[in-house]
Amino acid sequence: MSKPKLPSDLREKVCRELYRQVHVLDWDSMSDQQKTEQYSLWVDDPAIGGELADHFTAEGMRVWLKDGPMKEYARALEGVGSYAGYAMKRFVDIGETIREALGPEWRTVPGTLAEKPMHVNITNGPTTRYVCWGQPHTFRDLLWAAVRQAIVTPTTPLIAITMREDRSASEDDQAFQDKVAAHCRLDLIRVTRRLVDKN
């Protein structure tokens, strides 16, 4: 059975309200249980579930919300993907973050930005490197992506664990990540990403 296709104006209206609420809720700070409960609240919310009621069952709404706009939320904050326009804020450009971490001589290589996980090539002129980044809970995906690159590139891939300004990872988690990266002969740094108003 094909999924119902939402009218574009309805999709935009619901997604903008959804992302507004997600920003206020500080989604990344919520536990899995809190997130599960929030989906039920959204189904009952007139501004979200009420708008979708003519197109989905209650369970269908949950699936659409989870597999559609919420699955894309992290990418939207990077300014990537079809949902990026709905996000209230976005992260500072990764090129700026890299320059702050590695030095002003580093810049991103145009045309190399891609996803799953988010990654880009960076260069300081004579050297070009692959860098992938994501939040601490995505470390396994980042590690695998970097290992795959290590096989085919002459320079050491770089994993950037991204943290929000008001967040920190446990010392045990950081120590584990550092040991795994060192064992795999990968470089790992931790960087702070700031959310800013969209231009």
pLDDT on residue 169: 74
pLDDT on residue 137: 87
pLDDT on residue 129: 97
Q: Is the pLDDT of residue 108 over 70?
A: yes
pLDDT on residue 194: 86
pLDDT on residue 3: 58
Work out the percent of the chain whose per-residue pLDDT is above 90.
78
> Higher-confidence residue: 65 or 1?
65
Q: Please give the mean pLDDT across all residues of the chain.
A: 92
Give the confidence band of 69 by pLDDT, cuts at 50, 70, 90: very high
pTM of the model: 0.83
Cβ contact 91:78 at 8 Å = yes
pLDDT on residue 163: 85
CA 62 to each of CA 41, 43, 53, 70, 192: distance values in angstroms, whole numbers, following the listed order:
10, 7, 11, 10, 32
pLDDT on residue 176: 96
CA 32 to each of CA 25, 29, 111: distance values in angstroms, whole numbers, following the listed order:
13, 10, 35
Average pLDDT over residues 136-159: 96
pLDDT on residue 199: 66
Q: Sort strands 158-164 and 187-193 into parallel, antiparallel or unpaired.
A: parallel
pLDDT on residue 1: 45
Q: Is the pLDDT of residue 168 over 90?
A: no
Average pLDDT over residues 129-135: 96
Q: Is the pLDDT of residue 80 over 60?
A: yes
Residue 72 CA to chain centroid, in angstroms?
8
Q: Is the pLDDT of residue 166 over 80?
A: no
pLDDT on residue 83: 94
Work out the percent of the chain whose per-residue pLDDT is above 70.
95
Q: Is the pLDDT of residue 164 over 80?
A: no
